[in-house]
Amino acid sequence: VEASETGNRWAEGMMEVLLASVAIWRGRATETIERSKRAMNMFAEMGDDWALTLSTGPYVRALSTLGRFTEADAALEVLERRMRDDDSATRGMAPVVRAAMLVDRGEGEAALALTRDGWPDTPALPGVSDQVADTDRLFIRALALVQTGEPNDAAEMLRVPYGMTDADGPRAALGAVLALALGASGQAIEALDVAAELSAIRGGTFMDRIIMRWGCALAFASQGAVTDAVSALDEAHNIAYATDSRVVRALSSLARARIFESLGVPAAAEATNEASLALHGLGLNAHGWSTAFTVPELATGEPTPTAVGD
């Protein structure tokens, strides 16, 4: 408001970028598109390519999560062309955005190839110049590993960075994928321990909270704790349907279908039909997510008490 009142168009545009980013991580992709477009128009008029690049990132991600894939891909191609001759710090943003879109859609193999070729090795989080960017890269690479059937590798990659960072946002993001990787690899007790730690912090996005619950569901399912697994999936589903993301809603339905079927839950057939319709409506295969939602062999021993928090 202050930037608008003082006539500082550049500051006003940057505030729109910030609010657009906040909106998408709160599950309001439509608002993200509106704010990003306003910022993009401002910066285009000013001829500020650096700021225009920053405002395009959330715009592309929002289009994709709403299922507007053709528009998202076209906008990303424009971003990539703009950045080919860009020597600024934003140059590495395009491959990160593309890889993030690929894992969102369950294209883990393509995302993993891009993480190997599109950016340098990611250092440990503390002391690096851009903690948020490094968290994004670790998050994406680990999720791609889970989607390609390598959850053990994902867990090994995340344990140290997760343990070393105490900032709520990065910790929530890395911990969520760590819980998923542990749950998918049959390390149920550790997965639920991580989830319990995450439940005690305030930071993180709606997607972090969903992914963490998917990890819990896999962990509970591998212990034969059917009621707890269903509860974790229901919580994730409620979070997903509080957003406007068609993709996340469809993925939540897929998680329920895959895990319900593994557990022999009576609602499995209905959940499978719901997931099939949602994915078909988006034109998604989501093969990587199907792999991620594969329940490991049932573990022996007593089920662990529920560790999922609000």
DSSP string, 65-120: HTT-HHHHHHHHHHHHHHHTT--SGGGGHHHHHHHHHHHHTT-HHHHHHHHHHSSP
Model confidence at 303: pLDDT above 70: no
Q: Which helix (H) or strand (E) holds 135?
A: helix 131-147
Nearest to 211 by CA among 279, 147, 166: 147
Q: How many whole angstroms separate alpha carbon 269 and alpha carbon 267?
A: 6
Mean pLDDT of 48-55: 87
Confidence of residue 86 (pLDDT cuts 50, 70, 90): low
User: What is the chain's mean pLDDT, rounded?
Assistant: 88
> Which ranges of 199-286 does DSSP label H, i.e. alpha helix?
206-222, 226-240, 246-263, 268-282
Mean pLDDT of 191-218: 95
Mean pLDDT of 80-98: 72
Confidence of residue 80 (pLDDT cuts 50, 70, 90): confident
User: Which pLDDT value is given to residue 307?
Assistant: 44
Mean pLDDT of 187-192: 97
Amino acid letter, 306: T
Mean pLDDT of 90-116: 87
- 68-82, 225-239, 259-273 — which is least confidently predicted? 68-82
Instruction: Name which residue leads in pLDDT, 108 or 166.
Output: 108
User: Which pLDDT value is given to residue 130?
Assistant: 53
Contacts with 153 (C-beta within 8 Å, 6 or more apart), sequence order:
145
Degrees to nearest 5, angle at CA 72 with 148 and 172 = 55
Q: How many whole angstroms separate alpha carbon 230 and alpha carbon 37?
A: 40
Write the burial class of residue 68 (CB in 10 Å: 0-12 exposed, 13-18 middle, 19+ buried).
middle
The tokens describing 152, both together, are 């053990």
